Structure 1
Amino acid sequence: MVQNSPVIRKISKSVTKRVLSELKKKLKKDEAGYDTFWEQFGKVLKEGLYEDYEYRDKIAEITRAFSLKHQKLISLDTYLDEMADKQDKFYYLTADTLKQASSSPHLEGFKSKGIDVLLMTDPIDAFWMSQMGTFNDKSFVSISRDKYDLSELSGGQTEDHTQDADSNVISELIKDCLGDLVEDVKPTSSLVESPVRLIAGEGGLDFNLERIMKAQNPEFEGSKKILEVNCNHELIKRMLDLSSDMQKAVSRVMFEQARILDGEMPSDPQQFPKDLIFISSGL
């Protein structure tokens, strides 16, 4: 076939290199103009990050991503240059919309330390970042799926009560209240304002990636999540003083709230409003 001809392959490589080179020049000379181009054709280029091993690094050099810190599109090189002291990873969050990503509790620990997070809203983002793995020897880390530790990074400090006896008691209490709704309940220092958040279970996917998989295969079933608890939150501190029924209602509402903030519907639409009414009448 013609496309398998050595001559055609050589021409194809030459054209690809030339196009990538010209796009890189455009980015350096006219960032605003390049961003207009990226809004139109960025999704196509990102397919190359996922599929084209040969030119993946070159495409990454001209890739744009929305920065939490700058509130605009930036390059991966810019993110790399502005990494915090001791930071050795690209942190990112995938979501259906920029609005959803920006209000996510997953960002709280990063905001408190002044660490930037790339907010990704194209379905292919989760795939190319996982496929590519690293850029300039720095790995990509999903803040809703992968494990990470912010304790040694620069910036504001948050109290770490994850090993306190009371924190473990509260976590076990909430786990008992939720039962099979979650894989586990753990205290965390990654939250500041929110009482809880849901992260992917061991070897599992986050909600955003599960929605993409379900769109491709309606029979796909998501996995249970881990509920992380902010033991510095006033509501969490009150849990031990509540009645058993109130503890269960509050635990369920916090779980459903975390689902909603991650773009999901309540797991039990009938029980959710009942719990809200019960809490409002009893707290």
Structure 2
Amino acid sequence: MPTETFEFQVEARQLLQLMIHSVYSNKDVFLRELVSNASDALDKLRLAALKDDTLDADVSDLHIEIETDGEARTLTVRDNGIGMSYDEVGRLIGTIANSGTAQFVKELREAQEAGGGADGLIGQFGVGFYSGFMVADEMTLVTRRAGEDRGTRWSSRGEGTYTLETVEDAPQGTSVTLHLKPADDEDKLQDYTSSWTVREIVKRYSDFITWPIRTVPKKGEDGTDAEPETLNSMKALWARSREEVSDDEYHELYKHISHDWREPLETIRLQAEGTFEYQALLFVPSHAPHDLYTQGYQRGVQLYVKRVFIMDDCEALLPSYLRFVKGVVDAADLSLNVSREILQQDRHILMMQRRLTKKLLSTVKDMRSAAPERYATFWREFGAVLKEGLVTDSDNRDALLAASSFASTHSADEPTTLKDYVERMKDGQEDVYYLTGESRESIENSPHMEAFRAKGIEVLLLTDAVDEVWVDVVGEFEGKRLRSVAKGEVDLGAEDGEKADDEREKQGEEYAALLGWMKERLADDVKEVRLSSRLTVSPACVVSDADDLTPALENMYRAMGQEVPKAQRILELNPGHVLVKGLNQAYKEREDHTELAGTAELLYGLAVLAEGGRPKEPGRFVKLVADHLERAL
């Protein structure tokens, strides 16, 4: 097959230009990424050979080689792993189609504008291969997939095009050759043809990789081949004692597994002995990945069996709400030929999932008291996804609640636990009050909060989408009902209960006719109009019945394709507000109430706006406001 030339897509060209004119502070990243890719290829070949004994592949000496040539200024990273076919090279290397290029470019520019470091983005977006262009002005890849007869050569100078051709004599696996840029004192580019430089980078970043990373032997002065040198220790960190492993080594393993250049927030070791033995080394990231909430997010930890790599993303080992956790689990008693379907039902896997989940949740809970700053980071990055477990995992609900915290009116800075909220409850308070909304500011300004603020009653301020769901699923905490301040009737009591009852009765009689008339006028929108005990400043608000879905929850279900009937709301009026008093007086004095209909609609529209909603007919609402302003002037 002749050599073919292809063009990179527009965004890929932008990415390559960013790499060539790199703003990255640590250019050594390229070697670590190439070694990690080679290690993955060896893992995949060993697993393929275990599952298919007819695979025509040599697995007798799986390893990685690094070859340097000072005269030619080249550096080659070579493995004898799974390799790639012609089509795979075009799909995975040539087009950068699976690298999240647009998002990468966007976040890199944002990082530059903010003056922050960009080193963490390379691995996070899976574009590690292209980091070679930071130090090379041309890259060549030669690969042959295990079991195939012919190989493929890919080459590019990163200037908008790349070439593909079939080659007959390619060895099994993949080699990547970097034609290094000229030495530049101003750029302070390291000499990556130096064996000392290569040895130092491998030792620092890739020492834990379980495959040997070797130098290619060179001719000695006597003309004989020198012995290859293995640069890494190949010791699995999770199998070594805690005293043998430094924090830096743990952090490098995390970066290798997660493709994240930030250090982890928390490192967790677990070793189970007895009838079923396994070792686990788990990491909590310090930053949520950009695609954490997307459907295609690759979740799960790496699964090994007796140090043999089985799969990259074993979803069965952790529940979905812990999908951000990275790490390694090495089991002693599983089959090497285990499938994802078998894992879902395997009792040993289920045992591991239960224990790993409990360990992670207890770690988060302990972090709150032992390391509050780290806990604050964790909750900011992963609190919303952890709360998904309150809906889906009833077995661990108590542990999840103990690990969770929530913004509240008690403090503008410090979130609270439900336990602390209950301990602060006022005498006679029976419920834990909350309100959901888009932001803390919008909730605090909600008319539903007025009476609670006036009486100094604490309210939880819940701003994540999942909050709309879990409060209904959980229902109560330590016997205290979780109750929305925007649902049902509110009776916060009064200093003189009997006097307050008399006052409410008088108001009910005073406004009865107006309330009945407004209910009739607004019948398409509300099922009831009543006086409010939750308003102190605003003229009106809309509330839901205690068992109704909130508008936000209705919209959420509809967005998921579920049809739900639209629930009619309840309009509450503040009998102490001048606008409501004036409307009531006008209603009593006039026989024709037609002109008052617009004021009734206006009150309802203001109530809808106050809770963050939108009037049914914005144009008509604007006209009503303009007409009333005109009459007032």
Fold match (TM-score > 0.5): yes
**3-state secondary structure, aligned to 1:270:** helix
2:552 corresponds to which residue? 208
Which segment is superposed worse, 206-215 or 263-272? 206-215
**3-state secondary structure, aligned to 1:129:** helix
Paired residue for 1:27, among 363, 368, 373? 368
1:240/1:24 CA distance change after superposition, 3 Å: closer
1:230 correspondence with 2:574: yes
Measure how far apart 1:205 and its partner are: 2.0
Paired residue for 1:253, among 602, 618, 621? 602
Letter in 2 for 1:149: D
1:270 correspondence with 2:619: yes
2:387 corresponds to which residue? 46
**3-state secondary structure, aligned to 2:387:** helix
Taking the aligned partners of 2:463 and 2:594, their CA distance within structure 1 comes to 39
Letter in 1 for 2:617: D
Measure how far apart 1:152 and its partner are: 5.8
2:522 corresponds to which residue? 178
Q: Are the aligned partners of 1:195 and 1:236 in contact in 2 as well (CA < 8 Å)?
A: yes
Which segment is superposed worse, 43-52 or 166-175? 166-175
1:36/1:108 CA distance change after superposition, 3 Å: same
Which segment is superposed worse, 84-93 or 8-17? 8-17
**3-state secondary structure, aligned to 1:55:** helix
Q: Are the aligned partners of 1:158 and 1:192 in contact in 2 as well (CA < 8 Å)?
A: no
TM-score, normalising length: structure 1: 0.91
1:101/1:153 CA distance change after superposition, 3 Å: farther
**3-state secondary structure, aligned to 1:40:** helix
1:142/1:160 CA distance change after superposition, 3 Å: farther
Deviations 1:6-30 (A, max 9, x none): 2222222221121111111111122
Taking the aligned partners of 2:440 and 2:500, their CA distance within structure 1 comes to 26
1:70 correspondence with 2:414: no
**3-state secondary structure, aligned to 1:144:** coil
Taking the aligned partners of 1:71 and 1:160, their CA distance within structure 2 comes to 37
1:6 corresponds to which residue? 347
**3-state secondary structure, aligned to 1:183:** strand
List alignment gaps of at least 5 residues for structure 1: none
Measure how far apart 1:211 and its partner are: 2.4
Which segment is superposed worse, 64-73 or 227-236? 64-73
1:257/1:29 CA distance change after superposition, 3 Å: same
1:137/1:74 CA distance change after superposition, 3 Å: same
Q: Are the aligned partners of 1:197 and 1:258 in contact in 2 as well (CA < 8 Å)?
A: yes
1:218/1:253 CA distance change after superposition, 3 Å: farther
Q: Are the aligned partners of 2:528 and 2:571 in contact in 1 as well (CA < 8 Å)?
A: yes
2:267 corresponds to which residue? none
Greater Rg by CA: 2
Q: Are the aligned partners of 1:87 and 1:153 in contact in 2 as well (CA < 8 Å)?
A: no
Deviations 1:145-188 (A, max 9, x none): 2444211699xx98985432113233223323323221110111
Taking the aligned partners of 2:567 and 2:610, their CA distance within structure 1 comes to 18
Taking the aligned partners of 1:63 and 1:148, their CA distance within structure 2 comes to 27
Q: Are the aligned partners of 1:227 and 1:255 in contact in 2 as well (CA < 8 Å)?
A: yes
Taking the aligned partners of 1:97 and 1:172, their CA distance within structure 2 comes to 35
Letter in 2 for 1:85: D
Letter in 2 for 1:67: S
Taking the aligned partners of 1:96 and 1:70, their CA distance within structure 2 comes to 19
Which segment is superposed worse, 81-90 or 213-222? 213-222
Measure how far apart 1:56 and its partner are: 0.3
Determine which structure has the larger strand proportion and give its number. 2
Taking the aligned partners of 1:22 and 1:179, their CA distance within structure 2 comes to 53
Higher RCO, Cα 8 Å, sep 6+: 1
Measure how far apart 1:206 and its partner are: 2.1
1:52/1:70 CA distance change after superposition, 3 Å: same
2:18 corresponds to which residue? none
Q: Are the aligned partners of 1:161 and 1:231 in contact in 2 as well (CA < 8 Å)?
A: no
**3-state secondary structure, aligned to 1:100:** helix
Taking the aligned partners of 2:410 and 2:503, their CA distance within structure 1 comes to 27
1:240 correspondence with 2:589: no
1:160/1:225 CA distance change after superposition, 3 Å: farther
2:426 corresponds to which residue? 84
Deviations 1:232-269 (A, max 9, x none): 11111111333634421221111111111222211112
Paired residue for 1:166, among 495, 507, 510? 510
Q: Are the aligned partners of 2:490 and 2:533 in contact in 1 as well (CA < 8 Å)?
A: no
Taking the aligned partners of 1:191 and 1:32, their CA distance within structure 2 comes to 38
Deviations 1:70-127 (A, max 9, x none): 1232111121111111112111111122222121101011001100111111111121
1:187 corresponds to which residue? 531
Q: Are the aligned partners of 2:407 and 2:462 in contact in 1 as well (CA < 8 Å)?
A: yes
Give the length in aligned residue pairs.
281
Taking the aligned partners of 2:546 and 2:365, their CA distance within structure 1 comes to 39
Measure how far apart 1:136 and its partner are: 1.3
Paired residue for 2:484, among 142, 146, 153? 142
Identity in percent: 29
Taking the aligned partners of 2:371 and 2:410, their CA distance within structure 1 comes to 21
Taking the aligned partners of 1:152 and 1:60, their CA distance within structure 2 comes to 32
Paired residue for 1:130, among 472, 482, 485? 472
Taking the aligned partners of 2:495 and 2:450, their CA distance within structure 1 comes to 14
1:21/1:149 CA distance change after superposition, 3 Å: same
Taking the aligned partners of 2:363 and 2:401, their CA distance within structure 1 comes to 14
- What is the aligned-residue RMSD (CA, Å)? 2.3
Which segment is superposed worse, 4-13 or 199-208? 199-208
Which segment is superposed worse, 269-278 or 175-184? 175-184
TM-score, normalising length: structure 2: 0.42
Q: Are the aligned partners of 2:451 and 2:535 in contact in 1 as well (CA < 8 Å)?
A: yes
Q: Are the aligned partners of 1:84 and 1:153 in contact in 2 as well (CA < 8 Å)?
A: no
Q: Are the aligned partners of 2:406 and 2:462 in contact in 1 as well (CA < 8 Å)?
A: yes
Determine which structure has the larger helix proportion and give its number. 1
